[in-house]
Structure 1
């Protein structure tokens, strides 16, 4: 794949009303759960980035019928819980850790053999955190060291329900175990010390599965699914992705005179840590027209430029904003004072070592920053110098974050490759420029 560098230059105010693409986490799940349902699932607003299209292709290979009409409505005719068939080809999950880990849970309790691979970034990411509990349920794996892709899963004919305590807060691991539990007799339970995204639980309940969440001794949450349900096809309206909306939100906050409205944004309380933090920093964000879609809270966001002040972000907030720390770091660089972000160890095993990538990129752009093993401290000074080309390591969130930084910097900021933005936010550059940004190919 040929690198596609981009450059962002300081702009004036941003204005307009836009809808960012559909939520990636919910889009993956809508396709997967629809494939396990009896009857037809109709999906509106599905994200059509490469990651989600890879999930659609994988579910077709496993037996589901998936189509998209001329109006962008997707229809999934499922095979029922336990009805997945053995794929005749390797399932390529591209850049998506979510898709890979959830799919591994889906097939682990089916008596089929499934081969997984991914792109150069995904094959570096740890999968042992998923294979360990799935092995306890009866599946077998052959993989590279650390459970890394490519790997093969030999699903079990006689799955065993487990109770598993997550060693690290991870919605992906939790979801993989719950999805494996769907085709397992009895009750499968995941215990999490800190609440993580609950999209799987909400959507499973929407499709008719029995899901229970309760507080247990020590304050942990026990999330259980009753196996072998008959779930039925549903209509799913995918909200706009709050992680994608985050880039436009921060861009509007740091450009004087900006006034931007983002419609239909998912406001699941386990995804809104960034917005809570920005408001603590002084952000002018108004939540309008609050409502619910397929069990998920949704709102329109009006964002106006604001003077931001540095804050300390507590470690317990990390699960609700783990993907948003790169763009929060941009807001911190444009704020007055110091922002300290704690509990960030998980960032080191994302699409890249995001903690190191953010720190290196900010330093290259003249921002004072210190990175610890699980922390990041950014000393904001209003207008960053910029003037650097930032390495992205095939990470879409790093690329988008530094393009936003360039909109506020004294000198342009370039990224060495933007190709992978399409995996999660198709049309990002066009949408930003529609609001008033100046993102283009670097000047010769």
Structure 2
């Protein structure tokens, strides 16, 4: 598989030092746009992530009649909410770009509308499974069909006036599926409950509370009643912990590094990556803890040193699912063996992250054995070389920061995807003391 023609990175290492800020949290930005659009009255947001994924969500609501102003370069965004029943039919299919979060959450929200819609996306998104959302929505009475082979997009959603609340017991821990069902529950008759097999990020629950919508939680089960209302509010979005993890890893794996990442969200349901790095011996301190927009935040201070390989606890997998490309780099730089199991979800992300990361690590001289549900990485010396990100933003960023311990430059093709989640990545990299250049091209590489 080759990358599409576009951008490549050339990363030449560096010593991470100083203080930086990362982009606003992607998961929270998606939800802020959605709930702001469905609220009654104006919502004002600061720190909104103006990456391609979140802009796809925002554009979808504009095409359904929601007026917005921004986001500007500071992430300031105003949304004139239309209420739960105020969306208008879009004139054409809603294009979600590369954003699986947009498609899965909007599938739940649109299941309760009075008009038909079609959700589509780019080639990568059209290859991702959607039945995990479509099937439980159908059991609520939704009329939703995945038109691609094997339950893949486009998704066609027809009006379903008789959505019924029900109790869903998920077999696979997924914040996106949970959130889609809760969004459908806003429009359903009666109570909608979701029980998870393991904790997942709870941004939807926190966001509902911020907009004044009552929910209840009993252990692993969260419930809400349909037919309520959301009220416009002011929201501040913290820095994205998944984005911060690239810099945590860059600093943790090289002695002498001292880096502070300011105002990062440290939601308990997102801390898996932090816990894994600490278990590997990373020196990470949470300074100045506080609350921002209903989310816990802190300044993360990391000092470089020597990490050691571990068997990654399976209970941390759902809490670190987006951080694994960076964590695989930490494992490659560590002493000894790191083993990950029960992480099949990584194979259906923007790329098959298990296989793509294994290919890239092997190209850099690292012993990496992909497994059906994980990977085995034996840490050691890392050479320079050329790797293909296969259009996956997190893979591209992971190999960029790996250059701090590589013996030569690392060239990463397919790096244009970084704009989906972290449009100012190169600026932050430079402020952190890393040397990464980007080259725009018009021919295939890989």
- Contact map agreement 2:269 2:319 (CA 8 A) in 1: yes
- Contact map agreement 1:9 1:438 (CA 8 A) in 2: yes
Q: Distance in 2 between matches of 1:2 and 1:50?
A: 18
Q: TM-score, normalised by structure 1?
A: 0.95
1:145 is displaced (CA, Å) by: 2.1
Which residue does 1:68 correspond to in 2?
Answer: 70
Q: Distance in 2 between matches of 1:79 and 1:134?
A: 24
Which residue does 2:108 correspond to in 1?
Answer: 105
Describe the shift of the 1:390–1:212 C-alpha distance in structure 2 as closer, same or farther (beyond 3 A).
Answer: same
- Contact map agreement 1:109 1:138 (CA 8 A) in 2: no
Q: Distance in 2 between matches of 1:68 and 1:261?
A: 29
Q: TM-score, normalised by structure 2?
A: 0.95
Of residues 63-72 and 353-362 in structure 1, the stretch that sits farther from structure 2 once superposed is: 63-72
- Contact map agreement 1:166 1:190 (CA 8 A) in 2: yes
Which residue does 2:89 correspond to in 1?
Answer: 86
Please point out which of 26, 29, 32 is paired with 1:27: 29
Which residue does 2:400 correspond to in 1?
Answer: 403
Query: CA-to-partner distance for each residue in 1:282-318, whole Å, 9 max, x for gaps?
Result: 1111101111122211111111112111111111111
- Contact map agreement 1:68 1:74 (CA 8 A) in 2: yes
1:34 is displaced (CA, Å) by: 0.6
Which residue does 1:6 correspond to in 2?
Answer: 9
Which residue does 1:373 correspond to in 2?
Answer: 372
1:158 and 2:157 aligned? no
Which residue does 1:388 correspond to in 2?
Answer: 385
- Contact map agreement 2:213 2:229 (CA 8 A) in 1: yes
- Contact map agreement 2:21 2:428 (CA 8 A) in 1: no
Describe the shift of the 1:155–1:407 C-alpha distance in structure 2 as closer, same or farther (beyond 3 A).
Answer: farther
1:439 is displaced (CA, Å) by: 1.0
- Contact map agreement 1:414 1:442 (CA 8 A) in 2: no
Superposed, which structure 2 residues align to 1:227-238 within 5 Å?
A: 227-238=226-237
1:72 is displaced (CA, Å) by: 4.0
Q: Distance in 2 between matches of 1:309 and 1:72?
A: 38
1:407 is displaced (CA, Å) by: 2.3
Superposed, which structure 2 residues align to 1:242-257 within 5 Å?
A: 242-257=241-256
Query: CA-to-partner distance for each residue in 1:257-292, whole Å, 9 max, x for gaps?
Result: 111111110000110111111111111111011111
Question: Secondary structure of 1:328's partner?
Answer: helix
Which residue does 2:198 correspond to in 1?
Answer: 194
- Contact map agreement 2:238 2:292 (CA 8 A) in 1: yes
Q: Distance in 2 between matches of 1:99 and 1:146?
A: 20
Listed as ranges, the gaps of 5+ residues in structure 2 are 442-446
Query: CA-to-partner distance for each residue in 1:111-162, whole Å, 9 max, x for gaps?
Result: 2101111111111000011110111122223411233112211131121112
Which residue does 1:144 correspond to in 2?
Answer: 148
Describe the shift of the 1:181–1:69 C-alpha distance in structure 2 as closer, same or farther (beyond 3 A).
Answer: closer
1:443 is displaced (CA, Å) by: 12
Describe the shift of the 1:432–1:231 C-alpha distance in structure 2 as closer, same or farther (beyond 3 A).
Answer: same
Q: Distance in 2 between matches of 1:354 and 1:371?
A: 10
Please point out which of 191, 210, 214 is paired with 2:214: 210
Which residue does 2:426 correspond to in 1?
Answer: 429
1:441 is displaced (CA, Å) by: 4.1
Query: CA-to-partner distance for each residue in 1:33-71, whole Å, 9 max, x for gaps?
Result: 011111111100000001111111101112221112756
Please point out which of 419, 433, 439 is paired with 2:436: 439
Of residues 86-95 and 147-156 in structure 1, the stretch that sits farther from structure 2 once superposed is: 147-156
1:434 is displaced (CA, Å) by: 2.1
Which residue does 2:324 correspond to in 1?
Answer: 325
Q: Distance in 1 between matches of 2:360 and 2:210?
A: 42
1:98 is displaced (CA, Å) by: 0.6
Superposed, which structure 2 residues align to 1:282-301 within 5 Å?
A: 282-301=281-300
Q: Distance in 1 between matches of 2:259 and 2:94?
A: 40
Which residue does 2:414 correspond to in 1?
Answer: 417
Q: Distance in 1 between matches of 2:293 and 2:173?
A: 25
Question: Secondary structure of 1:257's partner?
Answer: coil
Which residue does 1:174 correspond to in 2?
Answer: 178
Q: Distance in 1 between matches of 2:192 and 2:142?
A: 15
Which residue does 1:114 correspond to in 2?
Answer: 117
Listed as ranges, the gaps of 5+ residues in structure 1 are 216-220
1:255 is displaced (CA, Å) by: 2.6
Query: CA-to-partner distance for each residue in 1:234-265, whole Å, 9 max, x for gaps?
Result: 11100000000000111111233111111110
1:83 is displaced (CA, Å) by: 2.4
Q: Distance in 2 between matches of 1:342 and 1:283?
A: 21
1:349 is displaced (CA, Å) by: 0.6
Query: CA-to-partner distance for each residue in 1:315-373, whole Å, 9 max, x for gaps?
Result: 11111000111110100111111111121110011111111111111111110112211
Which residue does 2:444 correspond to in 1?
Answer: none
